[in-house]
Amino acid sequence: MSNKVTGIDMRIMKLLSKNARLTYKELAETLGTTRQRVSRRMERLEKNGVIKKYTVIPDYDALGYVHVILGVTVKPTTNLDEIIPKLMEDENIKVIQRSLGSHNLVLHIVGPKDMKELERIISEVSRRIPGIDKLDITFVTETVKFEVL
């Protein structure tokens, strides 16, 4: 089987992006194929890194947390390859994204609703990033839509 992502692979991923708890049997029935075919394709998609992770999307507010996005712009001389591994160690940072445009890095932080503690966490994260030119902070109040495909 080739490493090329096919139409059925895309249909599998789209279905899973809406409900990652679907069984191979349920996927096969929806797609009009066999459970074995779905199983082989899923194994290949995982092995090739096309599917990186199965996860949940929590309601942070209901859990008593806030979701903050930091848009970080660093000076041109700053080496992101040295910074990112340090940021990956921080348990409060849930997503790290390299980006083009207004920011070089986009960090998703989940922290307590206590503003003093959140301020401490953001300050701690900021100190780990040398050469910050600009830092934008956005509080996510509600995720209205979340689709990956």
How many angstroms separate the first and last alpha carbons of the chain?
23
* C-beta separation of 35 from 22 below 8 A: no
Residue type, 80: L
Question: Structural domain boundaries of the chain?
Answer: 7-47, 60-140
Instruction: Write out pLDDT tens, residues 131-146.
Output: 999 999 999 999 888 8
Q: Which CATH architecture has domain 7-47?
A: Orthogonal Bundle (1.10)
DSSP state of 101: S
From CA 69, how far away is CA 104, in angstroms rounded?
A: 13
The CATH code that applies to domain 60-140 is 3.30.70.920
SS3 call for 100: coil
Instruction: Write out pLDDT tens, residues 58-110.
Output: 899 999 999 999 999 999 999 999 999 999 999 999 999 999 999 999 999 99
Q: Residue 56's pLDDT band (boundaries 50, 70, 90)?
A: confident
Q: Look up the pTM and report it.
A: 0.83
Q: Which residue has the tokens 């910050």?
A: 132
SS3 call for 73: strand
* C-beta separation of 65 from 111 below 8 A: yes
From CA 113, how far away is CA 72, in angstroms rounded?
A: 22
Pairing of strands 132-140, 105-112: unpaired
What are the start-end ranges of the H helices in the chain? 7-18, 24-31, 35-47, 60-63, 80-88, 115-127
Q: Which residue has the tokens 């990033």?
A: 129
